Structure 1
Amino acid sequence: MSGLRAAVVCAMGVWMCGAAVGQQAARRVAITFDDLPGTNSATMNAADIVAMNTELVGDLSAAKIPAIGFVNEQRLYHFGEVDERIHALDLWPAAGFDLGNHSFSHASLNHMPLAEWELDVERGETVTRMLLDEHHKTLKYFRYPYLDMGPDLMTMRKAEEFLAQRGYRIAPVTLDAWDWYFAQVYGDARSRKDTALEQRVVASWLDHSAAMFDYYEKKSRALFGHEPAEVLLAHDTWLEAEHLPELIALLRKRGYTFISLDEALEDQAYGSTDTYVSDVGLTSIDHWAVERGRPEAAGVKPEIDEWVQEKYKALAATKTLP
């Protein structure tokens, strides 16, 4: 009897292992980048912006991964550097990648009148649409800055109607590891040539990313019974530009294959009802969890390492961070 039970347990172990591998192999993710031509472009010169985007686009191209970058066109207008900054932006569609609108000035719909926000959206598409036209591409996606979708449901619905009338589809987020937060500490260390701190930040970022991915994967399974195609939020920073291969390796290790945003949004999960209004930008998974009465479906969200938080707060106290 013990031998039979052992055989059954062994067989179940093989089946469960196979199921887990199969589930991981089915994982899919679209990678999106916010704040083009650079999250910290206000404090960068044009040459560095071009170099950063060249490296980021090169890594994506080398890995043959589809991606889309969301643009804040205000970041293009810096005296004496406009042409170079537009060139940095043009690197994306020239390499075959898509661009989307992230508003002109990275304006939060939660903190300004709807009419002013709409004008900011319109201003944010001028250069982007021109570059896409030159590369026979179409501007069709909008990403809410800060993921702020409006202070109330009526405003949210009016904004959605406005975006639809202009031909936009809203780009959601389901995986968010706050890379922008780590990027500020990394960028400061990089500017001081503190390579030891750079490496420490990268390690903490990757560990936090793995924990956040695990959190959102569990939340997806709790809500849908499976993991829908994910949409990852990343940012146009030196952290991503210099360490994207490590992030790609992490995602591949977790069983992800890389797809376009178009493909990801074919998943039925993105048709889920969303009436949740928040004063803090949250992922679509978080919205759906509240909508279904299960905000804590995956337990407590992982915290960023305390030492990273302390360094970020110290930077915030001495200078303005984006």
Structure 2
Amino acid sequence: MRGIVLRGAIFAGILVGWAGTALAQEPQLAFTWDDLPAHSALAANTTRVEIGRKIVAAMKAGGLPPAYGFVNGVQLEHEPLSEPMLREWRAAGFPLGNHAYTHMNLNQRSLEDWEADVLKNEPVLEKYAAGSDWHWMRYPYLAEGNTAEKSAGARKFLLAHGYKVADVTMSFGDYMYNEPYARCVAKNDAASIAKLEESYLKMADAQIDYSRAAAKATWGREIPYVLLMHVGAMDAEMLPRLIDLYKKHGFTFVTLQEAEKDPAYAADLDLSLPEPVRKPSGPLPPYPREDFDVNGVCK
């Protein structure tokens, strides 16, 4: 994971600077969504298209601006019936970006293989996101290269192809909940679903406090946060409550482009700049952990 939340491992470093900038009047948050058009196990009570519709409807009902969805084109091979999800996402005015064709992990593969996977995804984006700015890269697994040479090579490649990096500065592991949720739906286990829902909101709440503390320890101020989400069945079901949670914390909502205008993201927009090395200048609270065994539910 990258940015304030994680980067390969938790806080593999941090950009120094911007500490003297004035605090924002209220915290800002940009939703972003990974793994379109199909993420994780599909609950029996829904479809991929319905998941997309729920996400779009909840964001619009909450007064949020359009959010980027990052695409893995291979899912159109695996689940052809998910294809209308991309069309409807765009018809709703929501943009798309590149998440590599097969969600390839750069840390585990060669740079050449990863570059080919990114390029293989471009015809999908040209088809479904024509006329919009789809040259935003969300690194799969937020893996930006496990060597300095690979990381620099990826940035050089993305720069040459006109990309900007969609950073992540808030995340709460929402992806962990979608497979257990699908199992519990299949068993009609309402009690376990309720426990999953409670844990989901608890972790989102804890990550708000952690990410804001990390930002202040790093930059001496709030930054506009970029939230990582996934297009899973439980995410779609929980989204209205999740949006309410962020509102209760005083967040207003911005687009990815608006968030990354902040100087904290300068090296993500201009890949000719050195890759940021970020290190907090002060102590951080303990990283949020959930005692509840999410993965073991409904097995």
Regarding TM over 0.5, the answer is yes
Find the partner of 1:288 among 268, 275, 278: 278
Alignment-mate amino acid for residue 138 of structure 1 = D
Which runs of structure 2 are paired with 1:187-226 in the superposition (5 Å)? 187-226=182-221
Q: Does 1:185 align with 2:184?
A: no
| TM-score for the superposition, normalised by structure 1 | 0.78
Q: Does 1:258 align with 2:244?
A: no
CA contact (8 A) 1:142 1:169 kept: yes
Distance 2:173 2:120 in 1: 27
| CA apart distance, 1:274 | 6.8
Which residue of structure 1 lines up, in the alignment, with residue 266 of structure 2? 271
Alignment-mate amino acid for residue 51 of structure 1 = E
Which runs of structure 2 are paired with 1:18-37 in the superposition (5 Å)? 26-37=26-37
| CA apart distance, 1:228 | 0.5
CA contact (8 A) 1:61 1:95 kept: no
Q: Secondary structure at the match of 1:73?
A: coil
Distance 2:275 2:32 in 1: 24
Which residue of structure 2 lines up, in the alignment, with residue 73 of structure 1? 73
| TM-score for the superposition, normalised by structure 2 | 0.84
Q: Secondary structure at the match of 2:55?
A: helix
Distance 1:61 1:246 in 2: 14
Distance 2:64 2:241 in 1: 14
Which residue of structure 2 lines up, in the alignment, with residue 96 of structure 1? 93
Find the partner of 2:113 among 111, 116, 128: 116
Larger Rg: 1
Alignment-mate amino acid for residue 244 of structure 2 = A
CA contact (8 A) 1:34 1:235 kept: yes
Change (3 A) 1:309 1:49: closer
Unaligned runs of 5+ in 1: 1-22, 277-286, 316-322
Distance 1:35 1:48 in 2: 15
Displaced runs of 4 or more, over 6 A: none
Which residue of structure 1 lines up, in the alignment, with residue 128 of structure 2? 131
Change (3 A) 1:61 1:226: same
| CA apart distance, 1:140 | 1.7
Change (3 A) 1:231 1:113: same
Alignment-mate amino acid for residue 73 of structure 2 = E
Distance 1:176 1:129 in 2: 29
CA contact (8 A) 1:57 1:91 kept: no
State the Cα deviation string for residues 260-309 of structure 1 (Å, max 9, x = none). Answer: 00000000111268757xxxxxxxxxx622xx5x5x73132011223325
| CA apart distance, 1:64 | 2.9
CA contact (8 A) 1:35 1:235 kept: yes
Change (3 A) 1:128 1:191: farther
| CA apart distance, 1:76 | 0.8
Unaligned runs of 5+ in 2: 1-22, 268-272
Change (3 A) 1:265 1:24: closer
State the Cα deviation string for residues 43-89 of structure 1 (Å, max 9, x = none). Answer: 679x71111111112212222312111111101113xx53x322111
Distance 2:113 2:154 in 1: 11
State the Cα deviation string for residues 64-120 of structure 1 (Å, max 9, x = none). Answer: 312111111101113xx53x3221111111101111110000100000111111000
Q: Does 1:306 align with 2:292?
A: yes
CA contact (8 A) 2:172 2:207 kept: yes
| CA apart distance, 1:218 | 0.5
Q: Considering only aligned residues, what root-mean-square deviation do their CA atoms show, in Å?
A: 2.3
Q: Secondary structure at the match of 1:300?
A: coil
CA contact (8 A) 1:153 1:275 kept: no
| CA apart distance, 1:191 | 2.3
Alignment-mate amino acid for residue 26 of structure 1 = E
Percent sequence identity over aligned pairs: 33
